[in-house]
Amino acid sequence: MERLLSKINNLEPWQVTCVIFVLGFIVFFSGLNGGFQGDDAFQIVSNTPVHSFSNVGHFFQSGTFYNGYQLTGDYYRPMMSTLFSIIYTLFGPHPIAFHIVQLVLYLSGAFVLYLIFRHFFKQLLALALVLIFVVHPLNSQDVYAVPSMQDALFFLFGTLSMWTLITYKSTRSMILAATFLFLALLSKEAALVFVALALLYLFIFDRNRLYKFIKIMALPFIIYFALKANAVGLVGRHPNGGPIDNYGFFERIYTIPSLITFYASKFVFPRQLANNYYWVYSSFSVRHVLLPLLADSAIIGMFIYLGFRVRQRLSNDSLKTYLFFMTWAVLSLGIYLQFIPLDMTACEGWFYFSMAGLLGALGVIVQTFNLKLSPNSMALLVVLLVGVLGVQTAVRGTNYHNQYTLAVHDVKVSKEDYFAMNNLSQTLIDQKRYQEAIIYAKQSINIYPVTNNFNNLGVALEQMGNYSAAQTAYEQALKYGEMDIIYENLSLILMMYSTPTSTEQFFQKAINAYPHDFKLLVYYSLFQGAQGHTDIAKTYISTATKYGNVPALIYDNIISDRPFSILLLGKTLLVK
């Protein structure tokens, strides 16, 4: 064992890279073959602009979601969309390609974090901390869920900027660090914390370079905010993001103690994990506010006490290191504590950034106390810990086999997860189990009504022939947001079961919202043909051919003025 420890202490960086990547692929292998799920549908599968790298310019001028007509949304993540486009262009719509790239990004970020730790700690400790980081189940979502590629991207660029500042002192290195920070910001807004950490590091350890770096960082900082303002605005609205979005600032404060306790407990005991959590405590209670607050106070008090012990036992530089990593942990967690309402209350992947800082602080604490354990015992303890955490992460990967298995698991763990319930509804619709799909869609709506769960309810009802109820569901869906498929489904129902006047009014609104939606154009052509307006029908069927594959029989009959009938939604439509 001593010979092995000696070899570990003398590992070259490339050898550490091999250790991290081999361990990472072993642990995360179970989830690499999972299919596209959730937001993948709107960000990758049906996101036509992402399917070609020639559209890269659009990614810097808009959001990340595709509504059937254009890129939209409040999130500005052009680096993620660009990477999606590169992967799709090279490998097509194969989820495994996205998963492998994401894992490589994640492990690369872990290696750069090791280089940062290696600057402050001895080799064995730095490697142990990073291996725990790599296999910790709380980070599993950042590998298994493709939309979380943004986290792996911004973390890699952010840690590269920190390592560059730590390792090199020249003006060129500061320019390179600023460039990495710029790329991190283009990957996710949370990279603003990396900007603050870069300034904090220079302030604590190398104040002579601080002012110069601020001047260098000013230009990319301004460019980033100009691009973001042009694309999605400076402040994201997060409409209907989650239940907590409906509460004011002072109401959300009551939820914060439980959030801190949640992340602390999941870090120590990472069991029963789910992608999304939506609990809200908007008023004082002993169980949900006071008790978590007392636990949080104990945790904070413990780390303050440990800071004093670091000051007593180690050098002043060690105290600076402890304060730096604790600030890293606190700032990166603070952005997810609902001071600004987010899409959900808590998310296992949101601790990814903060965990790196917390492990750095724990590294200083380990150096502070002379534990009565031999190096062999310490090494065995790390191996056992990495093994236990790695097995849990591998098991979590089996939940990501497909959208159904993930949703079934997450609903059991997170009772308020309306998003998982809606995903269950969607999967059951695909399996033609419409009655069950209705049940889960309604449960999702009862927790938090949004466009998607009302749309799934409408689709299931429509497939069961309940067109009146389906129409009501689609109309409710449009109150929460617009999607091309809702307009398509509702226009078809109105065409077959409503008055010509109301149908005409709806078609005008729908086509104005989605002028390039070929299904809407085909439906409107059929509607006009049924009303005897053959010239209008010809115009719209011709326009539809520019944007999609119009059925040849429909096109030929309308263009040739041949009357025909077509069965739609249980009724026959006569096109004159």
- Three-class SS state of 65: strand
- Span 35-42, average pLDDT: 82
Q: If you ran DSSP here, which 8-state letter would residue 516 be given?
A: T
pLDDT of residue 314: 83
Which positions ≥6 away from 2 have C-beta within 8 Å? Answer: 375, 376
Half-sphere exposure of residue 35, counting CA atoms within 13 Å on the CB side? 12
Q: If you ran DSSP here, which 8-state letter would residue 53 be given?
A: G
Q: If you ran DSSP here, which 8-state letter would residue 119 be given?
A: H
- Three-class SS state of 101: helix
- Span 37-55, average pLDDT: 85
Which positions ≥6 away from 92 have C-beta within 8 Å? Answer: none
Q: If you ran DSSP here, which 8-state letter would residue 346 be given?
A: B
The tokens of 73 are what?
């949304």
Q: If you ran DSSP here, which 8-state letter would residue 573 be given?
A: E
**Whether pLDDT at 536 is above 60:** yes
pTM of the model: 0.92
Q: Which amino acid appears at position 70 of this protein?
A: Q
**Whether pLDDT at 1 is above 90:** no
Q: What sign does the dihedral 255-280-477-456 (CA atoms) show?
A: positive
pLDDT digits (tens, 9 = 90+) for 111-143: 999 999 999 999 989 999 999 999 999 999 999
pLDDT of residue 237: 54
Report whether 256 contacts 295 (CB < 8 A).
no
Please choose, from the candidates 260, 402, 403, the residue with its C-alpha nearest in 3D space to the C-alpha of residue 337: 260
pLDDT of residue 31: 93
**Whether pLDDT at 240 is above 80:** no
pLDDT of residue 487: 95
pLDDT band of residue 68 (cuts 50, 70, 90) is low
pLDDT of residue 512: 93
- Span 301-326, average pLDDT: 92
**Mean pLDDT taken over the chain:** 92
pLDDT band of residue 375 (cuts 50, 70, 90) is low
Lowest mean pLDDT among 182-196, 233-247, 320-334: 233-247
Please choose, from the candidates 299, 277, 278, 288, the residue with its C-alpha nearest in 3D space to the C-alpha of residue 348: 277
